[in-house]
Amino acid sequence: MENSTLEVSYKSAGTYRVIIGSDYSDLGGYVTELFPNLQRICIVTDSNVSGLYLDDVKKALKDCAGHITEYIFEAGEKSKTLDTVKSCYDKLLADDFNRRDLIVGLGGGVAGDVAAFIASTYMRGCAFINLPTSLLAMADSSVGGKCGVDYDKYKNIVGSIYMPRLVYAATYTLKSLPDREFSSGMAEVLKAGLIRDAVYYEWLINSFAEIMDRNEDVLNEMVYKAVGIKQYYVTKDPFEQNERMILNFGHTIGHALEKYFDFKYSHGECVALGSVAAAFIAHKRSMLSDEEFYEIRDMFVPFDLPISLDDYEIDRAFLNIGHDKKNTDSGLKFILLKKIGKAVIVNDVTEDEIKEAMKSLVAEWD
């Protein structure tokens, strides 16, 4: 199958390509084209993904540089720390890496965020390419340049914005992704449709059986469209001063729930719940019709995403709403839908509206 290509441009940081291909067979060609005289490559990956795809990637890159090595960290968010970054610096120094060498991130959002942060800081920045292998990383985190690590109890608190020179998603890797991780990524994919493309959203809903079966052609198409939507926002507003915030649809309440339940629910599961709650607010404000609201709510279910919760302490969960959202006297900054495929930023959502929406998740939907 032909690869699909998108271009992401930044006023100050140039342009990079996002390639969606079935496997890694074309990766070497793209890398050599970008870096014809490369000496060293370090592939930064986690302990799960390394066992599955490191050999394939090394094979694909074998003619791109004389020295190809890897840094493997233990899989999971708990490794997204400065300690991981530091031991990778040790490895790079031991192997004489300099700023003309290449760092490759291979894995989910954690590997991508860690590898990009290492690349952005090692010798004040060396080239970085990203090979996302989780659906969340392909459709969301690999594009846009945000990178970093967690520190103390704070998520993503130390980081930078650093553009990759290439993103190459090989969708055959999605076959081995655990079901729960796949569904988590689907929340971001559905979000992309909800905020910007009603036709795409309806296509996702109608294609749910093929998607959940991980049909390769359907996944290629799905990832390509999702990346196109992310690309639209990050190109327009790379530093998230305005429109890029729309990508946070479902995330204000979603993040609060993630923290309240101490990460028992995955990010995507919380985004699904947060999206249902945000749709509830828009429905209450008569921005969304009954039909639209029920469709948004119910269509997370076929993708194995939750739309309701057992009773929980709304007031305590509300305390986790990000301080950056606590905007003006008039209320909170929030992303609402005017209709499916059209999101808007508003700054007058009240505490009561949010609490009511959070409470609505406890309702028995039927």
Binding residues for ligand NAD, rule: CB under 6 A, are: 46, 48-49, 52, 75-77, 80, 107-111, 113, 133-134, 136-137, 140-141, 144, 146-147, 156, 173, 176-177, 181, 184
Q: In whole angstroms, what is the distance from residue 139 CA to residue 229 CA?
A: 9
Q: Return the number of the residue (185 or 193) whose C-beta is nearest ligand NAD.
A: 185
Q: What is the CA radius of gyration of the chain?
A: 20
Q: In whole angstroms, what is the distance from residue 231 CA to residue 342 CA?
A: 16
Q: Return the number of the residue (173 or 360) whose C-beta is nearest ligand NAD.
A: 173
DSSP string of 110-144, one letter each residue: HHHHHHHHHHHHGGG--EEEEEE-SHHIIIIITSS
Q: Return the number of the residue (40 or 267) whose C-beta is nearest ligand NAD.
A: 267
- As beta bridge partners, residue 160 has 147
Say if CB 68 and CB 104 are below 8 A apart.
no
How many CB atoms are located within 10 Å of the residue 36 CB? 8
Contacts of 137 (CB under 8 A, 6+ apart): 107, 108, 109, 111, 112, 130, 185
Q: How far is the CB of 304 from ligand NAD (least distance, A)?
A: 15
Phi, psi (deg, nearest 5) at residue 107: 145, -155
**Comparing C-alpha atoms, which of 20, 87, 17, 23 is closest to residue 55?**
23
Whole-Å CA distances, 230 to 6, 144, 153, 203, 210: 11, 8, 28, 18, 23
Q: Return the number of the residue (266 or 360) whose C-beta is nearest ligand NAD.
A: 266
Between β-strands 166-170 and 154-161, what pairing exists: parallel, antiparallel or unpaired? Answer: unpaired
Q: In whole angstroms, what is the distance from residue 238 CA to residue 242 CA?
A: 9
Say if CB 248 and CB 333 are below 8 A apart.
no
Q: Return the number of the residue (171 or 360) whose C-beta is nearest ligand NAD.
A: 171
Q: Return the number of the residue (107 or 193) whose C-beta is nearest ligand NAD.
A: 107
Q: How far is the CB of 137 from ligand NAD (least distance, A)?
A: 5
Q: Return the number of the residue (184 or 220) whose C-beta is nearest ligand NAD.
A: 184
- As beta bridge partners, residue 339 has 342
Q: Return the number of the residue (140 or 221) whose C-beta is nearest ligand NAD.
A: 140
Q: How far is the CB of 230 from ligand NAD (least distance, A)?
A: 9
Q: Return the number of the residue (214 or 359) whose C-beta is nearest ligand NAD.
A: 214
Q: Which residue's Cβ has the minimum distance to ligand NAD?
A: 109
